[in-house]
């Protein structure tokens, strides 16, 4: 309550203080010419056309000849900021009752060098590009952007704020290009139904128009947005003149059918159907809905062998949950409150069949329906709501006596509500979020899951001095309830570990049926100019829990971080731009245990030939890991140093190469690693591109956790010296017949082999030297996968452990044919091929392990999906 009062008083102060609200003038650059162009107000007055253009890239329609004016005078943003462009660009904008029309003439005195590379939608590496961004709310913080490559590939996105954007937003719009003898042209039709704007009689929108010349690494802009500005949208120019446009409540419907055949251990789903839709409740707010959706991923997740106690974070790739995330986003560091992959996740319970039985599991939890309301009102109120119901799932257990079903996931409901309010021309934002997870648990074997999980948070952001300085505050609280079994398991899981031996501030209570926690983050500083500085203080109480619908890496943390940056964007000699950063971090537990003292130095430079170089240096002075022993005492890890270099060639060339090496040294020779990365892109032609990225890592870890054993009422914690080698590669081959018809292959073989040469018992976990920290165990015997160990040196075995060596092999691949046969309507044909094998038979060569993947049995899935988009 005290924090709420403080935020309220701060909010009143910021909005009553007239000194904080001032007319815009840009003065953040040391270059007066840059300040002039950035502060110069630029306005385009569009006119209505009675003649609809044919969207084909040829600007010969009558409307382009009769109506409006061509406007040029673009300014170079990079590399020569504030100077005249090397090539001329002109734009004309028209509208009618239903659409906005944009035409661009991108002149080029070397037209044979225009880069027209076909690529995937939203790929900014597709050669020359031109586009327009529209701040339709005129809130000076968010905008819709529509870009087109010279090859005709569309790139659309939503601006989220200070250099944050969401390319997962896919609107239904048209664009075509033509390459002529002295220019390339762009013709765009943007339906007003795809935008959200106020109901004012005449619209005033922020507007940004830009052009990228790939071979020169040059960006030209209609209204200059300085490259070192703290944000973009608030510096946009203006688009005026739009009035009396169609405001009907727009309805979009996209039914689909999908067939899927699966081989392997997953249940086969042969036929599916569903419906996606969008209803414009007003010009500001949109309701998205889906019924019985097909949420099969086209893009495979990367392979990884996780030897830590932390959950691996995978990006969301399903369009329904991706769109509108700008409003729903609430994050603090790496922790997020709405991690949409919790919805439709794989079942939580996997039964163990009897001897001779096989178990078939659903690939995911069936999403029965989902609703999403998003939008922003003309007074700056942003609303985001998601509600989704997932069905009860069953595992099929088959044997000689027939098939039986066992519940693997209960019926569940997920809810997210997000509210934000802009004040002071977007310089002040006050918001909040609420999430809820409710599970209908009827079966006793599912009582390890919480029944209810609620999380609430408030956030406050204020910027001043043309957003040069900022203050960002977040505070949040969680409440989890369920059976005693569920809360006991939650206290003991890897995010909390209340049972830790030397954590006097923690205590497990197996009689509890609720758990509560809180956290927050305070960040502020200077975010523009040559010199920038930010500081962060964040905290997570031991009982904080977000993972029913969010992502929390670990609780019981207090973190302090300072980041300093020096950045120069003005070319000089062979340097086009460069920056240096100093990042220092300290971590503690809520009990005051000092965990981490970490310094990171990073440098980057881009050369005039468009090559670039990254250099990174890390020094860790102090490390204590509270998770390494999985509930045991905190373990001191030895300080280390790392150094890294990564060199990239000119990405606009047909052959692009990136080479990197990273080396790590642990103090007192108690561990080391080296890894190499090779990135290669070959533009075989404008329609065919090959991309690969390969990484090899050779690591020696002196402290890798193995197991814990309870003997004579005392727990032994065993670690080992791990020699691990990992080799993996990703390969993409993409062929485009047209921007709408593509053939794409993705393959990622992964192999990781590890051998434990020395096993040790943890003796004094916080000792500053390894000899006091561990005592070596002697291997007395080995039978199969069992290793018999002697801990007291008398030659007889005291306990046994399983062989911790591993040979992990995995291949994830797919082949996709994608055809957008009409705007918004798509046919997919997807073949997925996966192989996986894990054993404790060590192979000293990661290369041999990688080659051995070809002999592993495979799982295959074939999916066909047809969707048809139409509007009412």
For range 757-785, the mean pLDDT: 91
Q: State residue 353's pLDDT score.
A: 77
Q: State residue 281's pLDDT score.
A: 75
CA distances in angstroms from 847 to 372, 752, 834, listed in the order given = 47, 9, 19
Closest CA to 246 of 280, 289, 211: 280
pLDDT tens digits, one per residue of 352-367: 878 778 888 887 888 8
- Give the integer Cα–Cα distance in Å for 87 and 84: 9
Instruction: Give residue 18's pLDDT band: very low, low, confident or very high (50, 70, 90).
Output: very low
Instruction: Say yes or no to pLDDT of 517 above 80.
Output: yes
Instruction: Say yes or no to pLDDT of 794 above 60.
Output: yes
SS (H, E, C) 651-716: CCCCEEEEEEEEEEEEHHHCEEEEEEEEEEEEEEECCEEEEEEEEEEEEEEEEEEEEEEEECCEEE
Instruction: Say yes or no to pLDDT of 413 above 70.
Output: yes
Q: Which of 280-284, 381-385, 532-536, 737-741 has the highest mean pLDDT?
A: 532-536
Q: Provide the b/e sequence for 323-360 (b: ≥16 CB within 10 Å).
A: bbbbbbbbebbebbbbbbbbbbeebebebebeeeeebb
For range 544-553, the mean pLDDT: 96
Instruction: Give residue 247's pLDDT band: very low, low, confident or very high (50, 70, 90).
Output: low
pLDDT tens digits, one per residue of 715-728: 999 999 999 999 99
Q: Are 305 and 361 in contact (CB under 8 A)?
A: no
Residue 217 makes CB contacts below 8 A (sequence gap 6+) with 78, 79, 576, 606, 610, 652
- Give the integer Cα–Cα distance in Å for 525 and 564: 10
Residue 432 makes CB contacts below 8 A (sequence gap 6+) with 418, 419, 420, 456, 457, 458, 459
Alpha carbon 824 to chain centroid, angstroms? 24
- Give the integer Cα–Cα distance in Å for 525 and 531: 11
Instruction: Say yes or no to pLDDT of 270 above 70.
Output: no
Instruction: Give residue 535's pLDDT band: very low, low, confident or very high (50, 70, 90).
Output: very high
Better-predicted residue by pLDDT, 784 or 213: 213
Place of tokens 């570990």: 497
- Give the integer Cα–Cα distance in Å for 66 and 92: 12
- Report the run of H or E that residue 117 belongs to, with start and end: none
Closest CA to 623 of 765, 772, 771, 506: 765
- Give the integer Cα–Cα distance in Å for 682 and 687: 11
Instruction: Say yes or no to pLDDT of 506 above 80.
Output: yes
Output the six-digit token pair for 231.
Answer: 């944000």
What is the secondary structure of 154-204 as a DSSP string?
EEEEEEEETTEEETT-----EEEEEE-SSEEEEEEEEEGGGS-----SEEE
Q: State residue 60's pLDDT score.
A: 93
Instruction: Give residue 15's pLDDT band: very low, low, confident or very high (50, 70, 90).
Output: very low
Q: State residue 871's pLDDT score.
A: 77
Closest CA to 844 of 757, 744, 772: 757
What angle (nearest 5°) sits at the alpha carbon of residue 236, between those of residues 234 and 239?
125
Better-predicted residue by pLDDT, 308 or 522: 522
Q: State residue 352's pLDDT score.
A: 82
Q: State residue 19's pLDDT score.
A: 35
Average pLDDT over all residues of the chain: 89
Number of other CB atoms surrounding residue 84 within 10 Å: 11
The DSSP bridge pattern shows strands 143-149 and 688-711 to be unpaired
Indicate the SS3 state at residue 620.
strand
Better-predicted residue by pLDDT, 215 or 316: 215
pLDDT tens digits, one per residue of 430-466: 999 999 999 999 999 999 999 999 999 999 999 998 8
Rg (CA), the chain: 29
For range 676-701, the mean pLDDT: 96
Closest CA to 519 of 340, 315, 337, 311: 337
Percent of the residues in the chain that have a pLDDT greater than 70, as a whole number: 93
Instruction: Say yes or no to pLDDT of 10 above 60.
Output: no
> Among 262-266, 322-326, 809-813, which is the least confidently predicted range?
262-266
Closest CA to 766 of 632, 593, 634, 668: 634
SS (H, E, C) 45-74: ECEECCCCCCCCCCCCCHHHHHCCCCECCC
Alpha carbon 866 to chain centroid, angstroms? 27
């Amino acid at each position: 309550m005290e924090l709420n009062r403080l935020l309220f008083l701060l909010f009143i102060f910021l909005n009553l203080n007239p000194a904080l609200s001032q007319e815009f003038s840009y003065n953040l650059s040391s270059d007066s010419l840059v300040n002039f162009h950035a502060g110069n107000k630029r306005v385009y007055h569009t006119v209505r056309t009675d003649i609809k253009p044919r969207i084909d890239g040829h600007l010969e329609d009558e409307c382009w000849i009769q109506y409006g004016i061509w406007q040029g005078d673009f300014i170079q943003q990079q590399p020569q900021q504030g100077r005249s462009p090397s090539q001329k660009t002109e734009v004309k904008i028209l509208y009618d009752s239903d659409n906005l029309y944009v035409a661009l003439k991108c002149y080029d005195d070397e037209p044979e060098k225009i880069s027209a590379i076909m690529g995937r939608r939203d790929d900014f590496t597709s050669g020359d590009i031109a586009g327009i961004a529209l701040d339709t709310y005129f809130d000076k913080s968010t905008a819709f952007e529509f870009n087109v490559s010279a090859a005709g590939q569309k790139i659309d996105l939503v601006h989220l704020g200070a250099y944050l954007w969401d390319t997962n937003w896919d609107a239904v719009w048209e664009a075509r290009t033509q390459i002529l003898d002295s220019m390339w042209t762009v013709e765009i039709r943007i339906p007003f139904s795809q935008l959200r704007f106020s109901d004012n009689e005449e619209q005033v929108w922020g507007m940004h128009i830009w052009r990228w010349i790939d071979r020169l690494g040059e960006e030209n802009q209609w209204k200059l947005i300085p490259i070192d500005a703290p944000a973009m949208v608030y510096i946009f120019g203006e688009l005026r003149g739009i009035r009396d446009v169609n405001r009907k409540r727009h309805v979009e419907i996209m039914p689909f059918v999908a067939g899927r055949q699966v081989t392997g251990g997953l249940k086969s789903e042969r036929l599916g159907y569903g419906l996606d839709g969008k209803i414009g409740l007003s010009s500001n707010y949109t309701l998205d809905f889906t019924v019985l959706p097909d949420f099969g991923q086209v893009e495979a997740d990367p392979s990884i062998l996780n030897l830590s106690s932390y959950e691996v974070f995978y990006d969301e790739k399903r369009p329904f949950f991706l769109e509108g995330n700008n409003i729903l986003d609430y994050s603090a560091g790496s922790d997020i409150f709405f991690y949409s992959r919790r919805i439709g996740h794989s079942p939580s319970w996997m039964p163990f069949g009897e001897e001779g039985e096989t178990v078939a599991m659903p690939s995911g939890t069936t999403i029965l329906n989902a609703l999403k309301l998003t939008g922003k009102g003309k007074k700056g109120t942003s609303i985001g709501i998601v509600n989704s119901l997932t069905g009860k799932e069953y595992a099929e257990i088959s044997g000689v006596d027939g098939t039986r079903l066992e519940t693997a996931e209960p019926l569940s409901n997920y809810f997210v509500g997000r509210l934000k309010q802009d004040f002071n021309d977007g310089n002040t934002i006050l918001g909040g979020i609420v999430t809820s997870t409710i599970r209908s648990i009827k079966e006793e074997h599912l009582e390890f899951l919480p029944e209810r999980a609620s999380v609430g948070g408030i956030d406050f952001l204020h910027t001043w001095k043309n957003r040069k300085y900022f203050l960002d505050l977040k505070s949040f609280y969680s409440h989890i309830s369920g059976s005693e079994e569920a809360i006991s398991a939650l206290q003991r899981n890897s995010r909390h570990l209340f049972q830790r031996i030397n954590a006097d501030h923690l205590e497990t209570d197996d009689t509890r049926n609720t758990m509560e926690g809180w956290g927050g983050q305070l960040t502020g500083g200077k975010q523009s100019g040559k010199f920038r500085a930010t500081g962060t203080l964040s905290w997570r109480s031991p009982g904080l829990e977000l993972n029913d619908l969010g992502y929390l890496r670990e609780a019981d943390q207090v973190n302090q971080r300072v980041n300093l940056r020096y950045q120069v964007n003005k070319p000089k000699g062979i340097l086009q731009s460069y920056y240096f950063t100093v990042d220092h971090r300290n971590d503690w537990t809520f009990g005051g245990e000092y965990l981490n003292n970490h310094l990171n130095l990073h440098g980057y430079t881009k050369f005039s030939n468009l090559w670039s170089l990254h250099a990174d240096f890390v020094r860790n002075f102090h490390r204590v890991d509270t998770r390494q022993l999985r509930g045991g005492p905190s373990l001191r890890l030895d300080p280390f140093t790392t150094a890294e270099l990564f060199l990239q060639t000119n990405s606009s060339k047909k052959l692009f190469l990136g080479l990197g090496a990273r080396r790590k040294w642990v103090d007192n020779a108690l561990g080391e690693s080296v890894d190499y990365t090779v990135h290669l892109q070959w533009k075989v032609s404008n329609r065919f591109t090959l991309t690969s990225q390969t990484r090899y890592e050779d690591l020696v870890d002196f402290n890798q956790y193995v197991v814990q054993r309870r003997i004579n009422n005392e727990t032994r914690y065993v670690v080992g010296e791990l020699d691990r080698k990992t080799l993996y590669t990703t390969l993409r081959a993409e062929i485009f017949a047209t921007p709408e018809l593509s053939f794409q292959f993705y393959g990622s073989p992964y192999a990781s082999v590890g051998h434990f040469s020395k096993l040790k018992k943890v003796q004094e976990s916080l000792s500053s030297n390894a000899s006091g920290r561990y005592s070596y165990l002697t291997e007395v015997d080995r039978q199969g996968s069992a290793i018999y160990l002697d801990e007291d040196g008398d030659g007889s075995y005291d306990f046994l452990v399983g062989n911790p060596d591993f040979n992990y092999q995995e291949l994830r691949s797919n082949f996709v044919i994608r055809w957008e046969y009409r705007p918004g309507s798509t046919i997919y044909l997807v073949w997925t091929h996966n192989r996986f094998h894990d054993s404790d038979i060590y192979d000293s060569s990661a290369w041999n392990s990688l080659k051995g993947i070809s002999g592993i049995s495979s799982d295959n899935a074939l999916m066909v999906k047809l969707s048809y988009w139409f509007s009412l």
